[in-house]
Structure 1
Amino acid sequence: MSTARPRRVRGEGEQLRGELVTAAIDLLLEPQALPAPSLRAIARASGVAPSAVYMHFPSQEALMYAVTEELFGRLRTALDAGEAGEGTPAARLRSLIGAYLQWSRDYPGAYQLLFERPDPAIDSGTGPGLDLLDRFADLLQVAGAGADRTLSLRIWSVLHGIASLRIHKPTAPWTSTPEDEAWAIIQTIGELP
């Protein structure tokens, strides 16, 4: 419960302004969770009563896990299409990177749901998306760059940084494509051909 503040004297507005900015900063110093839509909102969008949602999902967490599984499936399909075909391992890796970044641009809300909110399953080392790291690791091994998850995590960090910045700062003075930016950085972090 907040306590009532004494009324300000005329002319102290600038001090109050500073206090308001400081209070807002203090509230924003901790990461903020990206809220999932409520079960009522999902039911309304589906044209059903909220009780119908509970017949299929016992909780919002269970529904969001199913959503996450479905979205990772869609991302995998996009990556499959992007990596399809012949070519050197480096060319296949570059295609995979391009597919990942394109998917983030095509589905920014889905990308944010998968990668910009806390996920206890991924945090515990399980979950529907961790196989993507192994996919990068396998391709890196074929390319002769090693197959541990360390390099895969570095590549993912680069891709995520670029994807997230492009979602949140689309009008920044970008000088190249996301794919070219990623490839230039990735070539400096590993023994890539």
Structure 2
Amino acid sequence: MESIGTAASPPPKRTRARNRRGEGGRLREDIIAAAVELLDEAGDERAITLRSVARRVGIAAPSIYPHFPDQPAIMLAVVRREFAELRNSLHSVAEKSGTDPRQRLYAVSNAYLDFARTHPERYRTMFGGLWMPDLGDSSLTEADLATLGDETMRILIDTLADCVAAGQSTSTDPSGDAVALWLGLHGLAHQRAVSRVFPWPEDIGDRIIAALAHLNDPDA
């Protein structure tokens, strides 16, 4: 098990009411939510320790062990939760964006960029900018990490494939081009975060989407 360390600036301790019978799962969710709060506040996963999370939830640190064996396991739960949030956001946007595949692809892609801008600390953690687990020193395995983001990628693949089927994209490999599109969106999200004073063209996102998705010119 992870040794229980202390955070640099301990957050205020809460007093938590004992769960009623059948509510044990609520504590697990409270632990994850506390870890997300600490990440948002500190911008650094090193602020998330068993002790800091326990203090935020209002429990004794050993109470975490039945739910998470160590800090990397908590971080994996955080990352999984945020990928689920991203998936749900993109799925909702896709459903609400109408029947035109081109507009749906733009809407989904821009929703991705919005998520990265709105939750920068979580986004960097999801893609390894902050959280780089050492599999040899934790309870995690490669299988725990292998499928992260699969559902989000599937939304991009399916949306691009719809553009191809509608004759709006010349892509001959929607799966591969969706990966290229994700890389372009991810690169833009990262550079916007680290190069905030750069004079980004207002339509840079749309340019990247159109080029990497091989979209036809709608006015041609």
Q: Normalising to structure 2: TM-score of the pair?
A: 0.63
Q: Is the 8 A contact 1:140 1:147 kept in 2?
A: no
Determine which structure has more spread, i.e. the larger CA radius of gyration.
Answer: 1
- 1:111 equivalent in structure 2: 123
RMSD: 2.5
Shift of 1:146: 4.3
CA 1:94–1:182: 2 relative to 1, 3 Å: same
Q: Deviations over 1:133-190 (max 9, x none)?
A: 22211111111134543211111111111111122222222231xxx31220232234
Structure 1: runs of 5+ lacking an equivalent: 1-33
Count of residues paired in the alignment = 157
* 4+ aligned runs moved over 4 Å, structure 1: none
Q: Secondary structure at the match of 2:65?
A: helix
Shift of 1:56: 1.1
> Which region of structure 1 is more displaced relative to structure 2, 130-139 or 154-163?
130-139
- 1:183 equivalent in structure 2: 206
Q: Secondary structure at the match of 1:84?
A: helix
Q: Deviations over 1:100-157 (max 9, x none)?
A: 1111111111111111244779x77822312222221111111113454321111111
Shift of 1:97: 0.7
Q: How far apart in 2 are the matches of 1:87 and 1:171? A: 37
- 2:152 equivalent in structure 1: 132
- 1:7 equivalent in structure 2: none
Structure 2: runs of 5+ lacking an equivalent: 1-43, 165-170
Q: Are positions 1:93 and 2:93 aligned together?
A: no
Q: Deviations over 1:36-56 (max 9, x none)?
A: 422222222222221111121
> Which region of structure 1 is more displaced relative to structure 2, 40-49 or 96-105?
40-49
CA 1:192–1:109: 2 relative to 1, 3 Å: same
Q: How far apart in 2 are the matches of 1:38 and 1:146? A: 47
CA 1:62–1:100: 2 relative to 1, 3 Å: same
Q: Are positions 1:59 and 2:59 aligned together?
A: no
Shift of 1:60: 1.6
Q: How far apart in 2 are the matches of 1:73 and 1:35? A: 19
Q: Are positions 1:169 and 2:205 aligned together?
A: no
Q: Is the 8 A contact 2:153 2:178 kept in 1?
A: yes
> AA paired with 2:158?
D
Q: How far apart in 2 are the matches of 1:191 and 1:173? A: 25
Q: Is the 8 A contact 2:109 2:185 kept in 1?
A: yes
Q: How far apart in 1 are the matches of 2:51 and 2:76? A: 17
> AA paired with 2:199?
P
- 1:151 equivalent in structure 2: 177
> AA paired with 1:151?
D
Q: How far apart in 1 are the matches of 2:151 and 2:117? A: 21
Q: Normalising to structure 1: TM-score of the pair?
A: 0.71
Shift of 1:59: 1.7
- 2:32 equivalent in structure 1: none
